[in-house]
């Protein structure tokens, strides 16, 4: 995980983003245009079905679901904070780093 974090900060650079936007290095087909609720409902359905079949006891299923939710929440919080820090780094670069005056 720490390697991914370092790579995220390494990619938080205007030139990297420029290359993505101008050189078409990115893959626009990966953009999910479904509404948030639909994405959550559809993408979590397999997990719900699995939990219902593996844990027919409602209390045990709820406990397992709570454990999974806590783990996913931790990932969500950490990566959200990383995203904010990357954004702040880009803003700093835009506002304060000197750019060459040559064209």
Residue 49: predicted pLDDT: 95
Domain that holds residue 63: 2-96
Per the CB < 8 A criterion, the answer to whether 90 and 12 are in contact is yes
| Residue 79 lies inside a defined structural domain of this protein | yes
Residue 102: predicted pLDDT: 55
Give all strands (DSSP E) within the chain, no chain letters. Answer: none
| Residue 101 lies inside a defined structural domain of this protein | no
Q: Is the pLDDT of residue 1 over 70?
A: no
| Residue 38 lies inside a defined structural domain of this protein | yes
| Residue 37 lies inside a defined structural domain of this protein | yes
| Residue 40 lies inside a defined structural domain of this protein | yes
Considering only residues 19 and 93, tell me which one the structure prediction assigns the higher pLDDT.
93
Per the CB < 8 A criterion, the answer to whether 52 and 61 are in contact is yes
Taking only the tens place, the pLDDT of each residue in 4-62 is 888 888 778 877 777 777 776 665 566 788 999 999 999 999 999 999 999 999 999 99
Domain total in the chain = 1
Q: Is the pLDDT of residue 91 over 80?
A: yes
Average pLDDT over residues 73-84: 92
Considering only residues 9 and 87, tell me which one the structure prediction assigns the higher pLDDT.
87
| Residue 75 lies inside a defined structural domain of this protein | yes
């Amino acid at each position: 995980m720490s390697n991914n974090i370092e790579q995220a900060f390494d990619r938080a650079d205007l030139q990297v983003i420029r290359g993505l936007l101008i050189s078409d290095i990115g893959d626009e087909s990966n953009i999910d245009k479904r509404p948030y609720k639909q994405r959550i409902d559809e993408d979590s359905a397999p997990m719900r079905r699995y939990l219902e079949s593996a844990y027919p006891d409602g209390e045990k299923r709820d406990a397992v679901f709570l454990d999974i939710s806590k783990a996913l929440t931790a990932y969500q919080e950490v990566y959200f904070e990383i995203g904010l820090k990357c954004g702040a780094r880009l803003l700093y670069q835009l506002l304060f780093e000197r750019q060459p005056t040559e064209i």
